Structure 1
Amino acid sequence: MEFALNEEQQLFQRQTQQIIKSKGDLEIPRAYSEGKEEVLDDLWTGLAELGYMGITVSESYGGLGMGPLTLVPILEEMGRAVIPGPYIETVSFAAPLLEKYGSTEQKEKYLTELATGERKFSLALLEGNGEYAPSNINVRATEKGNEYVLSGEKILVAHADFVDTLIVPVRTGMSEQDISLLLVDRDSTTLQLEKQISMDETRKMVKVTFNDVAVPKSQLLGQENAGWELLEIGVRGLNAALCSNMVGGMERIVETATEYANTRVQFGQPIGRFQAVKHKIVEMKMNLETGRSLSYYAGWALENNTEDVVEAIAMARSLITEAFIKSANDNVQIHGGMGFTWEFDCHFFLKRAKTLENYLGSPEDYREEIVNALVSDKESVAVGR
């Protein structure tokens, strides 16, 4: 099994490096955090011109028709610069779901606009108690003629004020599993948006309130009451993408920590000569390479729909999430008091790592998912015998 990047993927990696560097590299998240949101518009336009928005969109809708593995080097480079915005939610979540479950009309409208960068997506999933479970979906969609009328609220919706369409899980029946997915366009509905405080200023969080919002039934993605299964499938792609993104952040942390350890002098010698600092950097490097291997395999399993795709992605998500947090925290410690200052870049990575810690589930949740998948596999083998 070959996990090295092929020539085409290496080309995407170099192009991504070039455009991010031309737009300012780590000055992008810094400017965005300071309220200069135009830097995200500028970057989005640049990526769209290169065709990056349509990577996972089929050629018939103006995309490149490539799979999750092609996204790996692109997402790693974005992670290296802590790039803001809903790129992952749009390209790794919305596009594959629309390709697989969208109606012909939905594909023609949304995939075509997505591929050109005209339409951005986010997932409006979380509600009240913060649990990622069908029982926690309480935004109700009541049928009224040819429409659904939505009432309730979603919290911590990433970049809801920047995107054009929200994919919203709603309750459409009495059973716990009676969840459906709706495509809610901001330009044709009136939504109440309220910005929420986020530890990571590069991931703007918004509370979205639905006050009897009418959505045409034609906006139903997939079958009614089958939305949770679709959501789980979509989240696999989202998690695989997040793993690649975090690996990119870990790689930048290793480089930053190593460079600082070789140049910062204390007691007459670089601090990198001290055993405590050496050990931290070595552990960072080991976690990086382990995480990268798991990330590549998760992407490969997703693209090839292998039997172990669920546990492959869950393993990567659990380990990489925790390793990213530890590496980011150790990097701050290596930089000492300077690591806590706004002028240094260490805090961007720590904030991103902590923000993603419980996004779509905690590391413990993913370990539980691994156990459930392994037990299910074992039961399937037993039945087969």
Structure 2
Amino acid sequence: MDFSLNEDQELFRKFVRKYLNDQEQTKVARDYIAGNVEAVKQAITGVNELGCMMVNIPDDYDGMGLGKLDLVPIMEEFGRTLMPGVFLETSAFAVPIINQFATTEQKQQYLSEVASGEKAFTIAWLEPSRSYTEKGIQLEAILEQEQFTLNGMKTQVADVAFAQYLIVPVRVNGEVSIIVVDKETPGLTITAQKGFDETRQLSSIYFDNVTVPISALIGPLGDGWGILQEGLLSYNAAVSSVCVGAMEKIIEVASEYACIREQFGQAIGRYQAIKHRLADMKLSLETARSLSYYANWALETTSEDRVEAICSARIFATQAFVEIAAHNIQIHGGIGFTEEIDCHLFVKRSRFYENYLGTQAQYYDQAISALGWDAATKAKEHENLLIS
């Protein structure tokens, strides 16, 4: 069975890569760190003009009508350049759940706006001192007279500057539901937070008697947790692709540096310690790529093993990204710790994905459950995770 990308997908990758190379690759991320949001928005506009945001949106809503696999090369290219923005949250989370659970009217509004590049989504899930679990969702939404009233706080919401809509998990009569909230709704206050990865800027969002119509509800009341799980499958398959792209770029840079940096009269790449480390990095990359391609195929075909495939790809890719980014700094030596080159940017992004929208332990649990392993095996996996 061939899980490689087809000719059209690789051709689209070339167009995206050329555009991002013209934007000087990680310069867009550095512009964001410097506070030049308008420059980043211009770069995002160019990406939208290529059609990246409409790939998996149906034809009926002004999209290309392509599948989830067609997102893979795009996400890999975004990973290579650490592209800021909410492409993942929009194309790999919001679009799939809206397409699957929303009403026709909601699809016409939201999907058409995304396809045109006018609007985008981010996810307001995490609450202070809570976790990405069902019990961690406690923000209350009171339903009266065909509208919801929200009071509470969400934290660590990524890149609100590039999104118009928030996907907000809430409690309605004790059950989890999903509501879409426009960030300009009266009573909503956005406060910037200090984050580890400056290329993904975080915010706290306060809801003070924020009212939204019942038409903002995605799916039936009380079905929110199941909807979130479906969204996470799409999101994590895409995250594995982003990590693959980032790791590929890191290895290219590290290999190039190992060939030009000389020590004791010869390139450091001639020493076995560097050779072995680069070989291990490449092995991890190709393993992650295989897992990622299979995960996205399983998602596309609704394969029976899609949950364990996607969780496995997410776990391995994010862990490998962390390790490879750290190895890259070691290969570069002292200069790897400086601001001038990109090593630290990849380290920070790897740590961002490690526990964003769920911890590694949570995804281990989910994979173990999907595989049907017994309690003893599960306990052993937890023990090994803690040791590592």
Q: Distance in 2 between matches of 1:376 and 1:190?
A: 47
2:141 alignment partner, SS class: strand
Who is 1:183 aligned against?
Answer: 180
Superimposed CA distance per residue, residues 266-289 of structure 1 (whole angstroms, 9 cap, x where no aligned partner): 111111111211111111000000
1:170 alignment partner, SS class: strand
Q: Which moved more, 1:215-224 or 1:155-164?
A: 155-164
Give the aligned residue type for 1:373.
A
Superimposed CA distance per residue, residues 111-159 of structure 1 (whole angstroms, 9 cap, x where no aligned partner): 1111010011011111122411111111100112111100110000011
Q: Distance in 2 between matches of 1:266 and 1:161?
A: 45
Q: Distance in 2 between matches of 1:14 and 1:208?
A: 38
Contact 1:318/1:362 (CA < 8 Å) preserved in 2? no
Contact 1:319/1:363 (CA < 8 Å) preserved in 2? no
Who is 1:159 aligned against?
Answer: 159
- Would you say 1:231 and 2:199 are equivalent positions? no
Give the aligned residue type for 1:194.
T
2:161 alignment partner, SS class: coil
Superimposed CA distance per residue, residues 88-114 of structure 1 (whole angstroms, 9 cap, x where no aligned partner): 111111111111111111111111111
Who is 1:307 aligned against?
Answer: 304
Aligned-pair distance for 1:44? 1.6
Who is 1:75 aligned against?
Answer: 75
Who is 2:97 aligned against?
Answer: 97
Contact 2:16/2:50 (CA < 8 Å) preserved in 1? no
Superimposed CA distance per residue, residues 171-201 of structure 1 (whole angstroms, 9 cap, x where no aligned partner): 0123xxx100001012344311011111111
Aligned-pair distance for 1:32? 1.3
Superimposed CA distance per residue, residues 192-233 of structure 1 (whole angstroms, 9 cap, x where no aligned partner): 101111111110111011011001111000000110000000
Who is 1:382 aligned against?
Answer: none
Who is 1:133 aligned against?
Answer: 133
Q: Which moved more, 1:344-353 or 1:156-165?
A: 156-165
Specify which of 185, 199, 202 is matched with residue 199 of structure 2. 202
Q: Distance in 2 between matches of 1:85 and 1:311?
A: 28
1:356 alignment partner, SS class: helix
- Would you say 1:144 and 2:144 are equivalent positions? yes
Counterparts of 1:43-82 in structure 2 under 5 Å? 43-82=43-82
Aligned-pair distance for 1:39? 2.4
Contact 2:157/2:205 (CA < 8 Å) preserved in 1? yes
Q: Distance in 1 between matches of 2:211 and 2:373?
A: 40
Counterparts of 1:236-315 in structure 2 under 5 Å? 236-315=233-312
TM-score (norm 2): 0.94
Contact 1:318/1:364 (CA < 8 Å) preserved in 2? no
Q: Distance in 1 between matches of 2:284 and 2:39?
A: 32
Q: Distance in 1 between matches of 2:309 and 2:367?
A: 8
Aligned-pair distance for 1:363? 2.2
Specify which of 343, 361, 369 is matched with residue 364 of structure 1. 361
Who is 2:16 aligned against?
Answer: 16
Give the aligned residue type for 2:179.
L
Give the aligned residue type for 2:250.
I
Name the CA shift for 1:130/1:352 in 2 (closer, same or farther; >3 Å). Answer: farther
Contact 1:101/1:221 (CA < 8 Å) preserved in 2? yes
Specify which of 347, 351, 368 is matched with residue 350 of structure 1. 347
TM-score (norm 1): 0.95
* C-alpha RMSD of the superposition: 1.2
Name the CA shift for 1:190/1:22 in 2 (closer, same or farther; >3 Å). Answer: farther
Aligned-pair distance for 1:367? 1.6
Contact 1:181/1:222 (CA < 8 Å) preserved in 2? yes
Who is 2:116 aligned against?
Answer: 116
Q: Distance in 1 between matches of 2:309 and 2:289?
A: 13
Q: Distance in 2 between matches of 1:132 and 1:292?
A: 26
Who is 1:380 aligned against?
Answer: none
Q: Distance in 1 between matches of 2:183 and 2:353?
A: 25
Contact 1:161/1:206 (CA < 8 Å) preserved in 2? no
Give the aligned residue type for 2:269.
G
- Would you say 1:170 and 2:167 are equivalent positions? no
Who is 1:326 aligned against?
Answer: 323
2:35 alignment partner, SS class: coil
Aligned-pair distance for 1:28? 1.2
Give the aligned residue type for 2:218.
L
Who is 2:39 aligned against?
Answer: 39
Q: Distance in 2 between matches of 1:130 and 1:20?
A: 37
1:206 alignment partner, SS class: strand
Q: Distance in 2 between matches of 1:365 and 1:282?
A: 30
Moved over 6 A (4+): none
Q: Distance in 2 between matches of 1:358 and 1:130?
A: 13
Who is 2:211 aligned against?
Answer: 214
Contact 1:161/1:193 (CA < 8 Å) preserved in 2? no
Aligned-pair distance for 1:376? 8.0
In the alignment, structure 1 segments of 5+ residues that lack a partner are 378-385
